Amino acid sequence: MKAFCKPLCAAMVLLSLASTRGSAQQREVNYDESKVPAYTLPALLQTESGQPVTTVAQWEQQRRPELLGLFSSHMYGRTPTDPIAVSYEVLTENPRALGGKATSRQVKLLFSNGTKTLEALLLVYLPNGVKKAPMFVGYNFKGNHSTTLDTTILYSRNFMLVREQGHPDWERGCQATRWSYDDIIDRGYGIATMCYHDIFPDQPGRKDHSIVSLFPGYGAGHEAPDAWQAIGAWAWGSSRIVDYLVTDPRVDTARIAIMGHSRQGKAALWAGAQDTRFKIVISNDSGEGGAALSRRKYGETLAIVSSIQPAWFCPAFDAYHGREEDLPFDQHQLLALMAPRAVYVASAEDDQWADPKGEYLGAYHAGPAYALYGLRGLPSATPPAIHQPIMHDIGYHIRAGKHDVTRYDWLAFLDFADKHFKATHK
């Protein structure tokens, strides 16, 4: 069996970043565990005034709001609270989807500030024969059409902004292996997915087409240090998906999980931190700015991830390039913000860029917040072996393979959801 964090060639290697990882630049990246600097994590259960946090009341009334404020001010940006009108238009409904096992629905969401309107396209599958289905919510990267071979699935308008006609990403089903629809439906769950470009097109120069452009102050010139960017927008959009789901009597709104992969793993954690309607929060290969500890300085670094354009993080985050130890927080505190709701972190053995060990340790060090509620975190600072998932109130697995979402991942997510939702199977 391969080691958890195998050394790759040398301590420092040059990595050509693929476009799906956010940059075409070459950077020096550390893959040598012996070169990870010593670090001390900021205290999780201690208020900014230095008081120990020993009760749930202290956590919920003092420490948790402090941490939310820190992540808003220094990393993800502040989510606006200004009202944006949202309306829904059901475009198609097919009660015989997936061989008759599911009902599919395509819904246009229209977002308006009174003078400007943007649209997003939501694809929903609900299991037939289940009166109140628990749900997974998650963005796709290449359009709803990429998740299935079904020729009735529509292309979203924003997709043409980021991919020219004829690009391979226009092919139906080009990422269908990332969406285990049959397994999800067979286990009695529904799923709602949307192309993340519909909320914030992930390409430079397209911000006018993002929901950020609907809010007061957009385009006024200088941005505030805590101005939200793409990850904040994607998190906001995930909550708007939930807003639609709560209008459907076939959805069990007490059992909604969010799953995000890679940059959407980062956004899923931020969405889950802010919106407690997500009762399970799942981060898959989220790496730096997601589940991985920033202070470890292994794989992708803060300087690299915060240099991606269009920006994912607020401007204030740039001040910490090469200064991770000066951050007033680290990612274990983000994961702790899910408590007492269940949280699951997934890694891939060959995805050293995302720092699997750092992802595990982020989840492990969130444990004391769960302990306040009498809940179980991860058992040890030593990560588990490949394909040995841990399914406590904080869950984790590392699988063989690369940066991806696989059927193995989905089956683990379903097992975790079964444990915490106690879903009734068909």
CA 409 from chain centre, in angstroms, equals 14
Instruction: Enumerate the β-bridge partners of residue 93.
Output: 105
**Identity of residue 106:** Q
Question: Is the Cβ–Cβ distance between 302 and 293 less than 8 Å?
Answer: no
Q: Can 262 be counted among the known catalytic residues?
A: yes
**Residues near 179 by Cβ (< 8 Å), separated by ≥ 6?**
140, 147, 148, 191, 193, 405
Q: Tell me which residue of 241, 144, 136, 244 sits closest to 188, measured CA to CA.
A: 136
Q: From residue 198, give the alpha-carbon distance in Å to each of 27, 126, 188, 208, 396.
A: 30, 22, 28, 12, 30
Q: Can 403 be counted among the known catalytic residues?
A: yes
Beta strand residue intervals within 63-175, DSSP E: 85-96, 102-112, 117-127, 133-140
- Catalytic residue, chosen from 197, 261, 403, 420, is 403
- Catalytic residue, chosen from 262, 283, 294, 347, is 262
Distance, in Å, from the CA atom of 142 to the CA atom of 181, rounded to the nearest integer, reads: 16
Question: Is the Cβ–Cβ distance between 331 and 274 less than 8 Å?
Answer: no
Q: Are strands 133-140 and 251-261 parallel, antiparallel or unpaired?
A: parallel
Residues designated catalytic: 262, 403
